[in-house]
Structure 1
């Protein structure tokens, strides 16, 4: 399904707001977000680009977004890295270095890192069909993690991929699950949503063969214009050889590479 939308630059993260104002803006972001599929391309082509090409379907461009920090700078600065991929190949890498204006506060990550990320995304010459963020989407206290916030601002399909669970309750055991298994994450009393609402999924992308070691799942949730089910599919399909989806893994590596090139640690 594709509907008509518009970017919302008026909802871009602002660092000079009070905490109450930030939380209010996040609720406005969540109200504007679309947690269902509203796409211009078929993201199923991510898992079978050759078949999609043979059928004449367009292979989507997916961008992974990650950040690193220049710890020896004053004021503290972020290095935001973006890696755009199509059909499993990197087609563009960009980054931007910007100042961080507020400290880390759980649940308000977008106000610390959203501006730097938007600055990096402005450097892209390609137009991604979907963005994957190292962070939360709808799995968030106010249903407005960084993937949702930036996705709504840009009016772009986006997915949040987090390594730890910020809030919500898993609908089942997460221990030693096999690859491909996904467990719904439901809203609880800490989330501004009806209790039991499915916010996203714990997605098992990789697992050890040994019963004595276990790989934790990723916590995947829709950011904007993507359903929870499609978000989980995308994250799993793009985790080709490692736990993390390849665009995010490569964005993380590129952020470290760009830091080394700047002579920073």
Structure 2
């Protein structure tokens, strides 16, 4: 895969101030509106594409696992990529690369971005959409890992996070019914005017029992996808599990690949 914006690729040698400056530049370049050619109906109903003579879009889930050295320290990232079309896995690849910096909140893409780009180099199919286990626009500088990678590759991308990094919900998030979405807007912690819609809390699955409940996911546009479409896609791809299927399978593949290397 080519890199339309290699000048914006993550560089672990930058200072923290330089990394944050680069993130603001990435946010300025990012498109937080729908700008893609595929039919979103084909994500949940592949026959919608084939009946019209087209192919369902290629959706790529991306997740990571980490390998430890003899001292028990994490020193390598294993980036797992799962490509799906019409609900079927068509390719799986992974790459193992050194970790160059520790985890710093808000700068995840500088720790994990280079390993992800290395794994994407192994992919033979052309993605129509990236789904990341991480944030997109719901980020202090509106440039989470889904935004950073989406802009560098210029591929429509969505961030799917399990916890809320920043921003304020526009409503109560407890015990939401399945299919409910609640807007997440910017606040003083985000480099955006207060009230800017960053994404949605999305309740993809929910227990029927009143005694327990599943927390929502935090879904935000990364690049070339609007917030409403990002939420709709997360729901469409989460038919059986909480996580959208491409991300869930990437998570599983990361664990499987790690186990195979450990063996």
Report the TM-score when normalising by structure 2: 0.96
Q: Contact (CA 8 Å) 1:30, 1:142: kept in 2 or not?
A: yes
Q: What's the secondary structure of 1:78's corresponding residue?
A: strand
Matches within 5 A, 1:114-129: 114-129=113-128
Structure 2 distance, partners of 1:75, 1:66, is 16
Q: Extract unaligned runs of 5+ from structure 1.
A: 1-5
Matches within 5 A, 1:10-25: 10-25=7-22
Structure 2 distance, partners of 1:75, 1:205, is 32
Structure 2 distance, partners of 1:194, 1:85, is 37
**Alpha carbons of 1:208 and 1:75: their partners in 2 closer, same or farther (altered >3 Å)?**
closer
Q: What's the secondary structure of 1:262's corresponding residue?
A: helix
Superposed displacement of residue 256, structure 1:
0.7
Structure 1 distance, partners of 2:251, 2:83, is 13
Q: Contact (CA 8 Å) 1:206, 1:243: kept in 2 or not?
A: yes
User: 2:86 — aligned with what?
Assistant: 87
**Alpha carbons of 1:75 and 1:228: their partners in 2 closer, same or farther (altered >3 Å)?**
closer
Stretch moving more, 187-196 or 74-83: 74-83
Report the TM-score when normalising by structure 1: 0.96
- What is the root-mean-square deviation in Å for CA atoms of aligned residues? 1.2
Q: Contact (CA 8 Å) 1:41, 1:58: kept in 2 or not?
A: no
Structure 1 distance, partners of 2:247, 2:233, is 12
What is the number of residues matched between the two proteins? 259
Superposed displacement of residue 44, structure 1:
2.3
Cα deviation, 1:191-221, whole Å, max 9, x if unaligned, reads 0001000000000000000111010000000
